Structure 1
Amino acid sequence: MRTQIQRKIRFWQALFCFAVLWSNTEAQLRYTIPEELKEGSIVGNVAKDLGLEVSEISNRKLRIASESAKQYFSLNLRNGDLLVNEIIDRETFCGQSTSCVLPLQVIIEDPLQFYRVEVDIQDINDNSPNFLSEINVIEVPESTLTGARFRLEPAQDPDAGTNSLRTYSLNKNDYFVLQMKNDKDGTKVPEIVLEKAVDREKQSVHHLILTGIDGGDPARSGTTQITIKILDANDNAPIFEQDLYEIKVIESTVPGTIILTVKAIDSDDGANSEVEYSFGAHTPEIIQRLFAINPVTGELVASNHLDYEISTSYKIDIRAKDKGPLAMESHCRIQVAVLDVNDNTPEITITSSPKPVREDAPTGTMVALINVKDLDSGVNGNVTLDMSPGTPFKLKPTFSNHYALVTNERLDREAFPTYQIELKAKDSGIPHLLSSKLITVNILDVNDNPPVFSEPVYCVYIKENSAPGSILASVTASDLDTGDNAQIVYSVLDTNTRDILVSSYVYINSENGSIFSMHSFDYEKTKVFHIVVHAKDNGSPSLSSNATVHVFILDQNDNAPAVIYPSTTMGSVSNQRMPRSAKVGHLATKVTAVDADSGHNAWLFYRLVEATDASLFNVNLHTGEVRTKRSVLEQDDPSQRLLIEVKDNGEPIQSTTVTVDILIEEGINEPISDSRMKTTESNKKSGKITLYLIISLGTVSVLSLLTLFTLIVKCVRNSLGSSHCCLWRTDSGYKNSNRNLQIQLNTDGPIKYVEVLGGDMMSQSQSFGSYLSPMSEFSDLTLVKPSSTTNFTDTLNVLDASLPDSAWIFESQQVSACYFCIHS
């Protein structure tokens, strides 16, 4: 990292040298700015200073160029301002040089002219003096004479001029003072001078703070810590904390136990302060056999068993000796008193081992017999027995020192199949002695839990036309019991779907709950059916539970569009008539098709494949309306044949075609001179249209009420379970969200048709269309069967845009519903 910084400094120094050489030539413009101006700050107006008008900036192509790799300045081409493009750090660019100039070239290309611009970067006091090391360590022997000098690390300040480092200061102390020394290059180097003799035993380390201060206004500073370590000389003997130690040790102390730690302190340092402990020169053998001392830590250890009846006390002499060149030592005495204590713990004996207990065992059932005793006598031999809390058991005293473990509450194996009971015995000695024993009580299972399904309601989706034997779902039930009580057998309860038993649709693996189809499904015949799965355990008596599986059949694109208008029942070609006076946009006919599929598979698109004259007609992609692209000309063929393709949006795409012959005739729909006849005819047609509209609305209303009543009945039936179905869905991305039922009447051209759209196209909706044929005087009415859609938001937006201006739109209550399975 340091190497990279040095390279960067050398690079900027080289660039600075180039700038100085370049600036020897007098510049036409010179600006002065402080360093670290924020981006976008204005340096000066180059155009104004060069005598250019604002219009000449772009006309004469004024621009600037920089010698450096980075563009520190930019030119505002609207007003000629020279702007700071990047924050400039003077210390990075010029170091501590007194002059820092960035050269620029101002170029005017038309006609070509060059100008020199110098930007003088002024230093600001933005850097504090910095020491390379946060802590400097100096070692001073305690025998050092006063007047000794110790050189300190100088601080670095990247700023220049008066903002650079000016002086140092040292915190006040009794031993050292600060003096300054000037090197040959003028650098000020701080030194500390020993003013008073030091004593390591009084103070082994001195902490000083050296502060470097610059000449800025306000001044900035930096600090470093000076740690002075005083080196030692062996001039002190070890001293024990106490001359006499008195301790009491119980006779039952375990061998290896530390009974005391002695400590001697030597004020010297290093090897002069390292103390080694040992027994005195005339220590008796019995003490050396019963006790041991650690030579490093001074820990006194009982190395053998103590016996109060053999000896009640011991006297031990301990020696402490340092490791200096001229070793010094001292001594202390330890008085050990042996105490007679209660050294026998109570014993717990299980007279009768605990046997497994049924979880339905009555309260008071005996589980085990326990006996306690203590080898001590008197008060030390009196024992009480207790047990760990929080268990459904209790101890019942029987006779002297005997207890019975009995049940105290109702048991539940599923919550706690096993109990670990800790028995605790305590005597009456001082201090009390305790003993414990852990016994295990197992709980036997009783079939008291029915199987529980992982979900009360399952939602399963399967594509239509799937091969028989396909797996529909896997239901899983668990039983908290164990053994045979937890073995589960799955079966399907026979329920009717469309008067067909569910068992004829599916079969279930009785061991793992996997449900398989017995035949393929047709979405157009069956969209959803329900399976009730029964899970029963093998307990005695057995317990069971049920779960409902909703099987939703997913539509596949297995039906081609069917053209319902124009009708081709009398032949493969439909004949339509159109006046030769038809203008641009005239509705010649409308092709209407339906698809037995649903969702995206039922989206239909219309396309003109062939035409006698392709320039005369076009077909609306979404509505199938055939309109004129231009006016009919005299030379146009009076017989126009159109081949129209209808394809769906499924995968793979299904399509069909219809051929329409349009006869262009003179005199059709021309004005009738008899105004009464015209009025009568118009009223007659309007009355028929109104009648058809009323019939369509009535039909949709009846279907809506029937659908709503069916959904309410299903919700009531399913409300007893833990899931809720038949939720109304009103959210939609369709831009006209309040259009729930639309009645469209189109009277443009010879084709009269009414469309009734029921419900949000985002949900399963009902759509009806009635078409009035121009070939009939009484306009036949055709009702199209409902089509199921899933997501027509985009299509509806397109259809809204394509509706004719003369369309009549009526709104009614939404008729839609969908299944949701929400698990509580």
Structure 2
Amino acid sequence: MAMCVCWGPVVRVLVLQAAWALGGGQVRYSVPEEAKAGTVVGRLAQDLGLEAGEPEARRLRLAAQGRRASVEVSGASGALVVSSRLDREELCGKSAPCALRLEVLVERPLRVFHVELEVTDINDNAPLFPAARKNLSIAELSLPGSRFPLEGASDADIGANAQLSYTLSPTEHFRLDLQKAEEDVEFLFLVLAKPLDRETVPVHRLVLTASDGGRPPLTGRMELVISVLDANDNAPQFNQSVYKVQLPENTERGTLVIRVSATDLDEGTNRNISYSLQHLFPQDGRDVFGIDRNSGEIRVRGDLDYEDVGLYRLQVDAADQGNPPLSGHCKVVVEVVDANDNAPEVWVTSLSVPVPEDAAVGTVVALLSVSDRDSGANGRVRCAVWPAAPFGLVATFAGSYSLVLREALDRERVPEYEVEVRAEDGGAPPLRASRGVRVPVSDVNDNAPAFAQAVYTVLARENNAAGAELARLWARDPDEAGNGRVSYSVAEGGVGGAAVGAGWRPASSYVSVDAESGRLWALQPLDYEELQVLQFEVRAVDAGEPPLCGNATVQLFVVDENDNAPALLPPAGGGPGPGSAGEAASGPGSGALWAWAAWGAPAGQVVAKIRAVDADSGYNAWLRYELWEPRGKGPFRVGLYSGEVSTARALEEADGPRQRLVIVVRDHGEPSRSATATLSVSLVEGAEAALAAAGSSSSSSSSGAGLRPGAGAEGGAAAATATATATTNVWLVVAICAVSSLFLLAVVLYGASRWAPRAAVLSGPGPATLVCASEVGSWSYSQRQSRSLCVADGAGKSDLMVFSPNFPPPPGPAAENGSPGKGPFLSPLASRAAGKCPARLPEELRETPGARLEAALPHERDRSPVPAVAGVSPASSAKPGGL
């Protein structure tokens, strides 16, 4: 039993020693600063494993410190207690955490234990401003938003106890602005919120309060005395609000750090500026930098030590010499860079330029040599090339590199490269150097000329002068010199068939292209009636070896000009005789025509119809009819677009036996062209009008259209005789019989013309040609090989006529005007269906059945004019005889 008692303490000591060996032999305690003397920090003896009485027996104590310790070990209890005032700010300053390292000695046997005592911060320091009062002078004319820097307060505490917030006593003229920059740096500004008025309040007294983040918070105050200055209303202004400079720590005294410059818009002494320097951080570094009051040059006056201070914050004030003076402010941040004062050096030992754009990947462009006079890590250099493509660096041996091609080149995309070789050593921080290498790329012929458009549409007016410029073509070749020099030529294309007569004609007979400029010229005047569209290809060839070429298609559209006057159409069944339509049409552009009208005919009755055609197209072929004579309120009128002559009112005997009408046919061209038709209308009794109509029907039934022409002197005598005997019943009976006979004859002839002639036409040689004419008198036909028929739905009458190309042309000048060789023609209304007519037609045209008929025509580009024939037909002749 005694043996167990003896070995018990030894075992405890061994266990304690093993625990201390494993734990590092260190005890940690924490005590708040400003703790009262006698405050127990920790049970040191118990934590060290000593039993009651052992601390005093083994003389547990603290080892002597270099300075007076603020804690001690109680001899009786072995507790660590506070012996004197603990001030964290005095012990550790701004360092966090604040830890004191203590050594505890135990004798019998002698052992040393390490105790770490952390002194925690309490909010025992109130914010402190540099001065209790700050005087500011602000010009009366300062604009709202003007900023004035203030020196903030400082707090010796750390953490939340040192986080400051600012408030300003109530005022409507000023407010505070706290800006946070990098590295938790705060800048405090007084901002003018409302314009000042010196005459109202010459001095503003404000209280600036700084509160920390402790619980409870502590505050510090500074009085701001703001004097409002009058005049000199422009303060000096710096071009930057913050300047940043880096200086190596071995910078010699007198070295220029930076030159700040402020400008003042005033004149005279008000713009003379003097500079002053204030050290914001650290405040004890006022002898390190100095500023020249006149030039604004900041130079090094003391020694820089990166380990002591790595960052300086300076405030430069620029004050003018006005009365009172105004000042501007800026911040200068100086960063001290540590050692490594030799930068790498790069040389270009060999350069092979220019590089062909078809050079192979791996081609060596330049040889480089890199070195650094430093040693160790500061002398080990890493190299890179920028931009990373299309070049790269290949290390050949120590300090030597080859600049090689990594990707294919394209001179048209990048004609020249500015390559920068960058070298960086292994220092901390590393120093860098660079060398620029200019690498031009030489051209090869790898791009064919390319036109801006695959198809060019060119509009040319007909009757243009030979040699007129039609268009300018341009092909782009991004190559240079001869590889990009382009020449132009007409490659292929032409026109053939009936549009240009017999045979095929190449495009080069119509147009030519300038080999150098690409200008397209007309070799001869163009005629729309012969040629509407010319399509050909233009080739662009460069001067490279081998040459490359590109093509573009040119579609030349000839725009119609109003170069054809309207031509009157003769009656299809006109017979010879004095004043007949055939003789009247002997003169081009005019004609004398005859028609009959009965007395008492109601208003609106159609008497005759003037027909005309224009070889032009579009508006130039759109015809209108005007009654030229007689002017005023006559008994007749003419349809503006139909050409139908009808009664304007009921005919009376007072109108006389004969009316002479002069009708002018005009097109819509600019300037317009016209033709004149003279129509003589004989006014007779109703019976004679019926005889005349029956005779006209019998003479024209075989052709299915036309108007019986006037019979001259013989016709006039017959009319007089009929008038003298009109009251005799015998002659009346004879007339009735004659009319009945003529009617029967007309029915027989109608049947014959309905079957036999139509069959002959449909079975005749050659392709049938469809001719459609509406009530407005516009004619067109289509060169279709199939036989077609145009019928207007609901039309009261139709001017549809079918002709066979093997029919002989009508006699007279009409055949000459309609000679073969003319190009396709499209009337104004028919051209509307093909996309060439006016966008909007008059209301009268849009409502006529003929307009609806022409709208149903197939859309065809190739049109030809109807042979020009003059004539007049009554309204009843509008129906073709065979339909």
TM-score (norm 1): 0.51
Work out the percentage of aligned pairs sharing the same amino acid. 32
CA 1:236 to 1:358, structure 2 compared with 1: closer, same or farther past 3 Å? Answer: closer
Matched, 1:669 2:690: yes
Unaligned runs of 5+ in 1: 1-140, 143-201, 210-222, 238-246, 260-273, 314-337, 710-739, 748-752, 758-771, 773-783, 820-824
Q: Which residue in 1 is equivalent to 2:204?
A: 229
Matched, 1:787 2:827: yes
In the alignment, which of 206, 212, 228 is matched to residue 170 of structure 2? Answer: 206
> Shift of the alpha carbon at 1:744?
8.4
Q: Which residue in 2 is equivalent to 1:426?
A: 424
In the alignment, which of 850, 855, 859 is matched to residue 816 of structure 1? Answer: 859
Q: Which residue in 2 is equivalent to 1:251?
A: 250
> Shift of the alpha carbon at 1:677?
8.4
> Shift of the alpha carbon at 1:514?
0.9
Q: Secondary structure at the match of 1:495?
A: strand
Query: 2:419 & 2:473 partners in 1: Cα distance?
Result: 40
Query: 2:561 & 2:741 partners in 1: Cα distance?
Result: 56
CA 1:357 to 1:397, structure 2 compared with 1: closer, same or farther past 3 Å? Answer: same
Q: Secondary structure at the match of 1:341?
A: coil
Matched, 1:644 2:663: yes
Q: Which residue in 1 is equivalent to 2:799?
A: 754
Look up the equivalent residue of 1:569 and give its one-letter code. G
In the alignment, which of 532, 544, 547 is matched to residue 542 of structure 1? Answer: 547
Alignment of 1:619-698 (within 5 A): 619-634=638-653, 636-665=655-684, 666-669=687-690, 681=746, 685=750
Unaligned runs of 5+ in 2: 1-131, 134-165, 174-193, 208-220, 224-245, 259-274, 310-335, 497-503, 575-580, 586-591, 692-734, 773-779, 803-809, 811-823, 863-883
Q: Secondary structure at the match of 1:410?
A: coil
Is the 1:742–1:756 Cα contact (8 Å) retained in structure 2? no
Alignment of 1:56-67 (within 5 A): none
Q: Which residue in 1 is equivalent to 2:844?
A: 798
Look up the equivalent residue of 1:471 and give its one-letter code. E
Query: 1:613 & 1:378 partners in 2: Cα distance?
Result: 117
Q: Which residue in 2 is equivalent to 1:464?
A: 462
Q: Which residue in 2 is equivalent to 1:70?
A: none
> Shift of the alpha carbon at 1:523?
1.4
Q: Secondary structure at the match of 1:570?
A: helix
Is the 1:595–1:602 Cα contact (8 Å) retained in structure 2? yes
Matched, 1:480 2:520: no
TM-superposition CA deviations, 1:188-245 (whole Å, max 9, x none): xxxxxxxxxxxxxx99743379xxxxxxxxxxxxx9999982289xx999xxxxxxxx
Q: Which residue in 2 is equivalent to 1:503?
A: 508
In the alignment, which of 530, 554, 558 is matched to residue 553 of structure 1? Answer: 558
Look up the equivalent residue of 1:521 and give its one-letter code. L
CA 1:348 to 1:794, structure 2 compared with 1: closer, same or farther past 3 Å? Answer: closer
> Shift of the alpha carbon at 1:517?
1.2
Query: 2:552 & 2:472 partners in 1: Cα distance?
Result: 12
Q: Which residue in 2 is equivalent to 1:571?
A: 584
Q: Which residue in 1 is equivalent to 2:617?
A: 598
Q: Which residue in 2 is equivalent to 1:519?
A: 524
TM-superposition CA deviations, 1:338-390 (whole Å, max 9, x none): 99822111111111124111111111111000010010122221112111244
Is the 1:206–1:229 Cα contact (8 Å) retained in structure 2? no
CA 1:604 to 1:427, structure 2 compared with 1: closer, same or farther past 3 Å? Answer: same
> Shift of the alpha carbon at 1:294?
4.8
> Shift of the alpha carbon at 1:487?
0.6
Query: 1:705 & 1:684 partners in 2: Cα distance?
Result: 30
Q: Secondary structure at the match of 1:485?
A: helix
Query: 1:306 & 1:809 partners in 2: Cα distance?
Result: 101
Query: 2:277 & 2:338 partners in 1: Cα distance?
Result: 33
TM-superposition CA deviations, 1:444-464 (whole Å, max 9, x none): 111000111122222222221
Q: Secondary structure at the match of 1:415?
A: coil
Look up the equivalent residue of 1:537 and give its one-letter code. D
CA 1:808 to 1:581, structure 2 compared with 1: closer, same or farther past 3 Å? Answer: farther
Query: 1:249 & 1:467 partners in 2: Cα distance?
Result: 81
CA 1:793 to 1:578, structure 2 compared with 1: closer, same or farther past 3 Å? Answer: farther
Is the 2:344–2:381 Cα contact (8 Å) retained in structure 1? yes
Query: 2:851 & 2:424 partners in 1: Cα distance?
Result: 97
Query: 1:489 & 1:340 partners in 2: Cα distance?
Result: 66
Q: Which residue in 1 is equivalent to 2:371?
A: 373
Is the 1:392–1:410 Cα contact (8 Å) retained in structure 2? yes
Which protein is bigger by CA-based radius of gyration? 2
Alignment of 1:398-409 (within 5 A): 398-409=396-407
In the alignment, which of 438, 445, 448 is matched to residue 447 of structure 1? Answer: 445
Query: 1:506 & 1:808 partners in 2: Cα distance?
Result: 38
Is the 1:561–1:596 Cα contact (8 Å) retained in structure 2? yes
> Shift of the alpha carbon at 1:415?
1.1
> Shift of the alpha carbon at 1:254?
8.7
> Shift of the alpha carbon at 1:809?
6.9
Query: 2:358 & 2:536 partners in 1: Cα distance?
Result: 36
TM-superposition CA deviations, 1:627-665 (whole Å, max 9, x none): 122333345544433222111122222111122233344
Q: Secondary structure at the match of 2:619?
A: helix
TM-superposition CA deviations, 1:727-760 (whole Å, max 9, x none): xxxxxxxxxxxxx97478655xxxxx61489xxx
Is the 2:424–2:430 Cα contact (8 Å) retained in structure 1? yes
Range with greater deviation from structure 2 (608-617 or 491-500): 608-617
Structure of higher RCO (CA pairs closer than 8 Å, 6+ residues apart): 2
CA 1:649 to 1:471, structure 2 compared with 1: closer, same or farther past 3 Å? Answer: same
CA 1:385 to 1:395, structure 2 compared with 1: closer, same or farther past 3 Å? Answer: same
Is the 2:846–2:852 Cα contact (8 Å) retained in structure 1? no
Look up the equivalent residue of 1:787 and give its one-letter code. S
CA 1:366 to 1:557, structure 2 compared with 1: closer, same or farther past 3 Å? Answer: same
Q: Secondary structure at the match of 2:377?
A: helix
Query: 1:509 & 1:248 partners in 2: Cα distance?
Result: 68
Query: 2:782 & 2:525 partners in 1: Cα distance?
Result: 32
Alignment of 1:732-771 (within 5 A): 742=792, 754-755=799-800
Q: Secondary structure at the match of 1:642?
A: strand
CA 1:490 to 1:613, structure 2 compared with 1: closer, same or farther past 3 Å? Answer: closer
Query: 1:442 & 1:808 partners in 2: Cα distance?
Result: 70
Query: 1:590 & 1:555 partners in 2: Cα distance?
Result: 28
Query: 2:611 & 2:794 partners in 1: Cα distance?
Result: 14
CA 1:808 to 1:368, structure 2 compared with 1: closer, same or farther past 3 Å? Answer: closer
> Shift of the alpha carbon at 1:398?
0.8
CA 1:656 to 1:802, structure 2 compared with 1: closer, same or farther past 3 Å? Answer: same
Query: 1:453 & 1:649 partners in 2: Cα distance?
Result: 39
Query: 2:297 & 2:556 partners in 1: Cα distance?
Result: 80
Query: 2:423 & 2:851 partners in 1: Cα distance?
Result: 95
Query: 1:303 & 1:456 partners in 2: Cα distance?
Result: 74
Query: 2:253 & 2:609 partners in 1: Cα distance?
Result: 108
CA 1:707 to 1:434, structure 2 compared with 1: closer, same or farther past 3 Å? Answer: farther
> Shift of the alpha carbon at 1:507?
1.9
Q: Secondary structure at the match of 1:591?
A: strand
Q: Secondary structure at the match of 2:661?
A: strand
CA 1:476 to 1:340, structure 2 compared with 1: closer, same or farther past 3 Å? Answer: closer
CA RMSD of aligned residues (A): 5.3
How many equivalent residue pairs? 492
Query: 2:297 & 2:675 partners in 1: Cα distance?
Result: 103
Q: Secondary structure at the match of 1:601?
A: helix
Q: Secondary structure at the match of 2:663?
A: strand
Q: Secondary structure at the match of 2:690?
A: coil
Q: Secondary structure at the match of 2:676?
A: strand
CA 1:421 to 1:612, structure 2 compared with 1: closer, same or farther past 3 Å? Answer: closer
Q: Secondary structure at the match of 2:366?
A: strand
CA 1:490 to 1:603, structure 2 compared with 1: closer, same or farther past 3 Å? Answer: same
CA 1:562 to 1:434, structure 2 compared with 1: closer, same or farther past 3 Å? Answer: same
> Shift of the alpha carbon at 1:470?
1.0
Q: Which residue in 2 is equivalent to 1:195?
A: none
Query: 1:808 & 1:682 partners in 2: Cα distance?
Result: 31
Look up the equivalent residue of 1:446 and give its one-letter code. V
